[in-house]
Structure 1
Amino acid sequence: MKFIYTIITSIALLLASTFFFPSEGYAANGDVYQVGGMVLNVRSDASTEAPVVGKLQAGDQVVEFQEKYGWIQTYYDGKEAWVAKHHLRKIGQMKRVQANEENVTVKANSTNIRSGPGTSYPAIGSSSSGDTYRLQKTEGDWHQIVLANGEYGWVASWLTDTKGEPIPASNESAATVQAPEQQASSTSSDLTSLDGYNIMLDPGHGGRDSGAVGINGVQEKMVTLATAHEVAEHIRDAGANVIMTRTNDNYISLEERVEMSDDYFTHAFVSIHYNAFPDPSANGMNTFYYSQTTDQQLAENVHGSLASKVDLQDRGILREGFRVIRTNNAPSILLELGFITNANDLAIIQTDTFKQQVGEAITTGLQNYFQAK
């Protein structure tokens, strides 16, 4: 948001930082290898002539599911892939243990299943409301669950119900491979209506102020506007009165945006932005707040919901003095929903699925916020 850069690029390398798991049908007790001190090509077949589908960095780990001609087959970006074994060091083996009779049922749609017990671990899949899994163990606020293919994943306990009865095999659901839950939410049916609340959405920039300029000339002002329109529909569906600081490509000063918030007796102000940086590897989303008294709880609720639903790197919640939130009398937050100068972020941002997930997440975050007040 703070920098204007036009970066022309066409390829983003997807770098894996943890285990690569199959989505179904493979043995669970594969050997675990670590990449040595070099960048290692990941290929579509067990041959140096096969196309490169990605790269691994020193310290990345892979699980072997079969070996052929000195190559091991693993999974990369959810697909079968091959790496040369002589560049790898064996460090252990995946283990299975018997699951207990408790099970957990997911309460929220698009809930991330992670490789470890925390939001810093990458998502290895996602689950929908009503999906049920056997509970392996609990660490803090996270449940380790047994997936339908026998592998393990972790899900935030606040997104689940835990019960003691066994689950029918037909209810087990395999995770689908796809990639921060700080605090999340129940399904909207469990939450309060937003009826009677005035929610102001602020699509950043507009008119002569293009905001950041990203890959292929994408302008932040147009992406924020498209996202805000989608978010508005979701919030209206939950009963709120939605006001937008702009509904088309026109210029609105920062002072005018804050004045509008005051004029409409806004109950929550959400400013939508996208980030940019000279280094195209910078990626992920942030939520910013200013007042620890009026803004911080709103930031935590909305960001937690976004982190549980949106497949972007979680850069966390930060305190900053952006004018539209610093001088605003309403509880206010500013969202940076990914980098338009990062090829992977931009590819996600431009999908209808992303805008829908953001709309659902912000709505649920608002419901959680007002329910707790």
Structure 2
Amino acid sequence: MKKIIQLIKQWLIKFWAPLVIVIIMLSTAISLTVIMLHKQQITVQIPNLTLRKQYGINGSPISVLKKGEHLQIIEKKEGWYQVRRDDESTGWVAGWLLKRKTPLKKVTPLSEATVVLDPGHGGSDVGSLSSNGKYEKTYTLQLAKRVKKELEKSGTRVIMTRSTDKLVYLANIPKVAENKHADLFVSFHFDSAPSKNQATGYTTYYYHQNNGSYALAKSVNTAMNLPLINKGVEFGDFLVIRQNTVPAILLESGYMNNKKDFNYIKSKKYQEKVAKAVPIGLQNYLTRQVTVGQ
């Protein structure tokens, strides 16, 4: 027995360095494996999330996830997670809702949608001017941020083409919606007439009629019960909606060079009224589309 112990001691003395290296490598590998496995696990934070057969709001619903349910993430795609449940069944769920901790009153198609908001102009492109020299770009950004806040209350994944006063080249704006595989696109603007106080009101523009843009424009315009003249839904040849493959609209929510309109445009109350109306219009559109699709 003593001889065996001596042999082991001699072996350890001779090979201690390689042995230590092997132990460190094994420990590191095990630790990394545990970390990676942990990262692929997620717990449902809010109830009633829809598990779908395919990713996206048009994916066929399979079942509803419960709060506290543990899931394994298999794949991530366009903001959606493919997950495996404890019973080994799989499906897709909106990743941003899976991470959300604030409860939702109700999970709707708008909750599972990705919406791109485009505050018109920015940076060196100031847009239209008010009668007292105020820039359109200032108010489009204010309005878009208010809409973003309202949409996020519904759980919507919101992407802004700009969040600060910077220039975003027109040709790049439609690409944001396409690259993020957005469900909807809304561009915010304020109009201008050749002469001061010549025109008033708000208009909802679409370019494509067959990709959902026209139906989206009608739905949002119907929801826009504003204290200005509703000039309705019109065709608009604007690059940001013309070059967009997703349902896309452009809102002109008043005239910068009309004194009455501008008083509304710069008003927090008016902006909040628009901000509450837009999600209603988007929700109504999506509800009809998802119902038809199913």
Please give the TM-score of this superposition, normalised by the length of structure 2.
Answer: 0.60
Quote the residue 1:258 is aligned against. 174
Rounded to whole Å, the distance in 1 between the matches of 2:105 and 2:237 is 35
Query: CA offset at residue 290 of structure 1?
Result: 0.8
Deviation, 1:195, is 1.8
Alpha-carbon offset, residue 281 of structure 1: 2.9
Counterparts of 1:1-373 in structure 2, within 5 Å, are 192-279=108-195, 280-294=197-211, 295-306=213-224, 308=225, 310-373=226-289
Give the C-alpha shift of residue 361 in structure 1. 0.3
1:6-65 CA-to-partner distances (Å, cap 9, x unmatched) read: xxxxxxxxxxxxxxxxxxxxxxxxxxxxxxxxxxxxxxxxxxxxxxxxxxxxxxxxxxxx
Superimposed CA distance per residue, residues 152-193 of structure 1 (whole angstroms, 9 cap, x where no aligned partner):
xxxxxxxxxxxxxxxxxxxxxxxxxxxxxxxxxxxx979935
CA contact (8 A) 1:196 1:239 kept: yes
In structure 2, runs of 5+ residues without a counterpart are 1-103, 290-294
Bigger helix share? 2
Give how far 1:255 is off. Answer: 1.1
Contact kept? 1:274, 1:338, Cα under 8 Å: yes
Q: Which amino acid letter does the alignment assign opposite residue 215 of structure 2?
A: Q
Give the match's secondary structure for 2:132: helix
> Which one has the bigger strand percentage?
1
Name the CA shift for 1:368/1:191 in 2 (closer, same or farther; >3 Å).
Answer: farther
CA contact (8 A) 1:191 1:371 kept: no
Alignment RMSD, CA only?
A: 1.6
Alignment partners' CA distance in 2, 1:189 and 1:325: 32
Question: Where in structure 1 do 4 or more consecutive aligned residues deviate above 6 Å?
Answer: 188-191
Q: 1:369 to 1:189 in 2, by over 3 A?
A: farther
CA deviation after TM superposition for structure 1 residue 246, in Å:
0.3
For residues 231 and 217 of structure 2, the distance between their equivalents in structure 1, rounded to whole angstroms, comes to 13
Q: What is the rounded CA distance, in whole Å, between the counterparts of 1:192 and 1:312 in structure 2? A: 30
Query: SS in structure 2 opposite 1:318?
Result: strand
> Matched residue pairs, number?
184
The residue type paired with residue 220 of structure 2 is V
Write the distance in 1 (CA, Å) between the matches of 2:271 and 2:107: 21
Hey, what's the Cα distance between the residues in 2 that align with 1:346 and 1:218?
A: 10
Q: Percent identity?
A: 35
Structure 1, unaligned stretches of length 5 or more?
1-187
